[in-house]
Amino acid sequence: MIFEQIATGGCQSYLIGCADTCAGALIDPETSQVDRYLGLAARDGLRIRFVIDTHTHADHFSASRRLAERLGAMTVMHRASPAPGISMRVDDGESIVLGKLRLQVLHTPGHTADSMCLAGEDRVFTGDTLLIGGTGRTDLPSGDPEALYDSLFGKLLALDPALLVYPAHDYKGRSHSTIGAEIENNPRLQQRERAAFVQMMKSLDLSMPTHLTEALRTNMSGGKTVARLLAEAGATVPFMSLAELKSRVEIHEDDLIVLDVRERDAYEAAHIPGARLLPRGQLELRVNQDLPDPTRRILACCELGYISTLAASTLREMGFQHAVALDGGMKAWRESGYPTKAGREP
């Protein structure tokens, strides 16, 4: 068996494969580690066939869809998952076959309704159902402490005590545990009576994970994170530095249109001398009237440099082939002491 554990902050993902046939799978991959997974799979000579999420994650951005597209692999989740476009939905009692390896699916709802554990010969990937010295929380969308009790005491903890436990999280740098060690030492598992366990889970009072809404939105829909949207726009446009623009403004360069895409009040408070106002929200609808010549060089600027990147990318998409974004924004422009003008332009 080929096996790699990849830790990212508190998140754990796994690469597992059959050494005889080179068939492999990734479990709970995270977007920031895409190059690492690809590198490890290549180094280990594995052909990734399955990219598996143990549940709908609320605390990290799943890379499953991207990796599956790139590798020609199947995305795998439990059949209760709300995510669209999953190529293989699985259920309790089924196995995912990796050459000579088998990963058996245990449906273990509780942390989420679509949580599952994957049991191999000597180890079990427990997702967020069972952590080292803890369990997944049950207070996020589709969480259910009663279901977690049944999944743990009725199913997962009944497995061979010698099985190695590899969870989806560990915040203390630990690699793994065993079912037996968890039964003995895990504080949450000492509440073996249903009502006491449920009461304990309901009174944990945990803070919400950062990026909760964005993680659920993107993981449940296959949509894009804000960071990815900005990165993709930034990869399609050139940028001009603040100093370069200043020198061009000072000589009143005629063939450059500076387009301020902020709202009117921000523009009238202070804008780059000669800049035109066209708020981002009106860009598509007013572009033909305000920018009749698509061959002009148009430089988009905004307060921080993000919205102007999106605006420049949209302009390029609409056929303004010389659209550019300011490398920075009006905030940095003002802080550099560069010239500004208040009110409207003639």
Nearer to Fe ion, 64 or 309 (CB): 64
**Closest separation in Å from C-beta 54 to Fe ion:** 8
**Closest separation in Å from C-beta 312 to Fe ion:** 37
Stretch that binds Fe ion, among 23-31, 66-74, 123-131, 248-256 (CB under 5 A): 123-131
Nearer to Fe ion, 4 or 128 (CB): 128
**Closest separation in Å from C-beta 239 to Fe ion:** 37
Stretch that binds Fe ion, among 33-41, 98-106, 120-128, 268-276 (CB under 5 A): 120-128
Beta strands in 108-147 (DSSP E): 116-119, 123-127, 130-131, 134-135
Q: Which of 30, 128, 170, 182 binds Fe ion (CB under 5 A)?
A: 128
For residues 57 and 219, the answer to whether their CB atoms sit within 8 Å is yes
Nearer to Fe ion, 10 or 274 (CB): 10
Nearer to Fe ion, 136 or 305 (CB): 136
Task: Give the C-alpha separation, 186 to 3, whole Å.
Answer: 25
3-state secondary structure of 186: coil
For residues 156 and 106, the answer to whether their CB atoms sit within 8 Å is yes
Look up tokens 């490890």; give the residue.
Answer: 40
Beta strands in 306-345 (DSSP E): 323-327
**Closest separation in Å from C-beta 28 to Fe ion:** 9
Nearer to Fe ion, 155 or 297 (CB): 155
By beta-carbon distance, which residue lies closest to Fe ion?
Answer: 128
DSSP string, 37-68: HHHHHHHTT-EEEEEE-SS--SSS-B-HHHHH
User: Considering the rule CB under 5 A, would residue 170 count as an interface residue with Fe ion?
Assistant: no
Stretch that binds Fe ion, among 13-21, 44-52, 116-124, 125-133 (CB under 5 A): 125-133
**Closest separation in Å from C-beta 116 to Fe ion:** 12
**Closest separation in Å from C-beta 90 to Fe ion:** 18
Nearer to Fe ion, 114 or 128 (CB): 128
Q: Please, which residues have CB within 8 angstroms of residue 27's CB and are 6 or more apart in sequence?
A: 13, 14, 15, 16, 52, 53, 54, 118, 125
**How many other CB atoms are there within 10 angstroms of residue 239's CB atom?**
16
- Kindly tell me the burial class for residue 26, based on how many C-beta atoms sit within 10 Å of its own C-beta (0-12, 13-18, 19 or more): buried
**Residues that bind Fe ion in the complex, under the rule CB under 5 A:** 128
